[in-house]
Amino acid sequence: MARGGISSCVPRGRTGARPSAADRYNRSTAPPAMVLLGIESTAHTASVGIVDDRAQVLSLATDMYRPAQGGIHPREAANHHVEVLPRLVTQALESAHVRPSEVEAVAFSQGPGLGPCLRAGATVARMLSLAWERPLVPVNHCVAHVEIARVLSGLDDPLLLYASGGNTQVIAYFKGRYRVLGETLDIGIGNFIDKLWIELGGTFPGGPALELEARQSSHLLPLPYSVHGMDVAFSGMLTASLALFGKGVSRPDLAYSVEVTAYAMLTEITERALAHRRRDSVVLGGGVACNERLREMVRAMVEGRGGRMFAPPRALCVDNGAMIAWTGRLALASHVTVPIEASAVQPRQRTDLVDTPWRGS
């Protein structure tokens, strides 16, 4: 497998006019012949990424749907994606200095995700595949988070703590599949944080704002700590947090307590999974993995066990087209393509039902 090509998520177009010193240092002796284009649209983010066969991100164009108020509405998010994706495709091609004829295949997020959003991305991918006469490559969104972190980290077989808006999972590869060892039993950690933040008077997305608020406190309030083996649950903490806020506790104290409690839960299940699978390295993925406290808590746990923790740059932790393109690259090399008539999206696609022939058995 190509490895170690990305040293930063900063996209570097092939013949960009102003390469930085790092760009020049990382530039290969010869430009790659063909590249892969990936389309991401599982939830609130529409994104198009272009990568080469050494996993260099040549461009990444992203536009996130932000509801004026409340949480994500699938149909409105899908309308947003339909509107912005053509521009994102053009932008990605232009900033990568890539012509359509140089695109080897078009990869798209097939699932899991919100049906209307997935269909928006898949429709654009099918159109490009037809227009450019290039194969269509289906990609599982969760597997893409693992693969981009794996190639960026150089770690061969890490465990993934995937903490995003809709998903909270601990994933490891064994017996020929990526398998979910533990997950949320109710809502995703990001959705929990977003809901809470909106109830506290904020706007979507809540995670970055809650992180700033939490930095203003070090007072830990008791909150439900809900770990069941390698699974977690957050709805009890949401109810308890809102009750405490109703009784007048301060927003910083609540933000701090929620972060410490929720991230301790994630750290605990990750450690249990490491011990269970006899692994020593962990990679992070998902928007919540942008959080500094979560990164530090997991890093302390992993390094305390003598292992290595890696968190991708934030642009590649959140949903992004580059991880879809890179995983499409791996899939294509293993001859995984799909005819248009069989390329229906799979909103409930399970990670452990997806073939990953590039990983072997």
Residues interacting with ligand AMP, by CB under 6 A?
Answer: 43, 45, 164-165, 190, 193-194, 205-208, 211, 286-288, 290-291, 318-319
CB of 71 to ligand AMP, least distance (A): 10
- State the residue number with the nearest CB to Mg ion: 164
Token pair belonging to 66:
């932000």
- Binding of Mg ion at residue 319 (CB under 5 A)? yes
**Short-list 172, 142, 178, CA closest to 158:** 172
* Residue 213 contact, options ligand AMP, Mg ion, none, Cβ 5-8 Å cut-off depending on partner type: none
CB closer to ligand AMP, 281 vs 320: 320
* Residue 110 contact, options ligand AMP, Mg ion, none, Cβ 5-8 Å cut-off depending on partner type: none
CB of 109 to Mg ion, least distance (A): 9
CB closer to ligand AMP, 173 vs 234: 234
CB of 164 to Mg ion, least distance (A): 4
Residue span 135-174 as binding mask against Mg ion, x where in contact by CB under 5 A, dash where not: -----------------------------x----------
By CB under 5 A, how many residues form the interface with Mg ion?
2
CB closer to ligand AMP, 53 vs 194: 194
CB of 17 to ligand AMP, least distance (A): 31
CB of 119 to Mg ion, least distance (A): 17
CB of 314 to ligand AMP, least distance (A): 8
CB of 122 to Mg ion, least distance (A): 16
CB closer to Mg ion, 164 vs 191: 164
CB closer to ligand AMP, 104 vs 319: 319
CB closer to ligand AMP, 13 vs 312: 312
CB closer to ligand AMP, 135 vs 182: 182
**Short-list 305, 251, 250, 239, CA closest to 273:** 305
Residues in the chain: 361
- Three-state SS across the chain? CCCCCCCCCCCCCCCCCCCCHHHHHHCCCCCCCCEEEEEECCCCEEEEEEECCCCCEEEEEEEECCCCCCCCCHHHHHHHHHHHHHHHHHHHHHHHCCCHHHEEEEEEEEECCCHHHHHHHHHHHHHHHHHHCCCEEEEEHHHHHHHHHHHHHCCCCCEEEEECCCCEEEEEEECCEEEEEEEECCCCHHHHHHHHHHHCCCCCCHHHHHHHHHCCCCCCCCCCCCEECCEECCHHHHHHHHHHHHCCCCHHHHHHHHHHHHHHHHHHHHHHHHHHHCCCEEEEECHHHHCHHHHHHHHHHHHHCCCEEECCCHHHHCCCHHHHHHHHHHHHHCCCCCCHHHCCCCCCCCHHHCCCHHHCC
CB closer to ligand AMP, 162 vs 173: 162
* Residue 206 contact, options ligand AMP, Mg ion, none, Cβ 5-8 Å cut-off depending on partner type: ligand AMP
* Residue 318 contact, options Mg ion, ligand AMP, none, Cβ 5-8 Å cut-off depending on partner type: ligand AMP
CB of 356 to Mg ion, least distance (A): 17
Nearest 5°: the CA angle 238, 244, 246 is: 105
Residues at the interface with Mg ion (CB under 5 A) = 164, 319
